[in-house]
Amino acid sequence: MIDDVIELIKTKKWGKIVENVDLSKHTTYRVGGLARVMWYPDTTTRLAKIIQLLNEKKITYQVLGKGSNVIFSDQKYDGMIIKLDSFNQMVIKGNKVEVGAGYSLVKLSYQMAKHGFSGLEFASGIPGSVGGAIYMNAGAYKMDMGYIVSRVKVLTKEGKVITLANLEMDFHYRSSILMKKKDYIVISAVLRLKKGNKKEIEELMKDRKERRIATQPLEFPSAGSVFRNPKDHFAGKLIEDLGFKGLIKGGAQISEKHANFIINLGNATATDVKELIEFIQMAVYDKYKINLKVEQEFINWE
């Protein structure tokens, strides 16, 4: 049935479409199996029509941003991966910026700094898309998307575009309403920023970048922090205190620089990463009776 949808997109020339895609090239962990097809829609209208069709035919699909917070299994993903790279418009109006879901969050933070806007400094080291960052309420330095999102435009499975205000998004630590409403797809968002001192903003971002280079294993593929920080604890400290820095499983390793990072040494499988995550969770629970919650999402695992 998915062949019919692929043929329709190709015939109507509704954006770029690629078959048998290696997902390890589209995730920051650099792991994952093949996907049956990857589609890059070019308009909201066409996206809406294909989403309705996929739902009607009960075909599995997954919207993928920059792949910085997902772990696909090593198995074939027998469905459609949807990439919103074309949804990358950005317009500044006063102290607000309307930006497409496919826009790079890092790029946006630097663009806003150039225009002298404060509020996105925390995002300068988060390698995701705007849509993905809103979905999981990405954050750092005691800030997150929930503080700056004014409203979000989403596409429903019925093909309707609706707007959700900040309070309707139900932002909490590393979560939003989108994690419950899996059928909502972020199209764009309006962020509310403040005018600031351009030089001070850029200096702060530069300082934080230097600190990240010094304390995080940025030279290896990873997905950033693996676990959420439990209340009154730091996940990295709990793992480090167990002596797990440098621990290797297959081609995956708990970083020697930062214990809340798992890195791909070059030949890791998705299974290596997942098993290392589960080992850490069990060990931390056995020692501290704390359940570590994973920040990344597992996709296509039985």
The residues assigned a catalytic role are 174, 225, 295
* Gap between the Cα atoms of 33 and 208, Å rounded: 34
CA dihedral 68, 113, 149, 87 (to 10 degrees): -60
The continuous run of DSSP H or E covering 5 comes out as helix 2-12
Classified as helix, coil or strand, 129 is: strand
Closest CA to 83 of 126, 26, 1: 26
The continuous run of DSSP H or E covering 139 comes out as strand 139-140
The continuous run of DSSP H or E covering 163 comes out as strand 161-165
Classified as helix, coil or strand, 193 is: coil
Q: Contact 69/296 with Cβ under 8 angstroms?
A: yes
The residues, any chain, with a CB within 8 Å of residue 253's CB and separated by 6 or more, are 246, 247, 262, 263, 265, 276
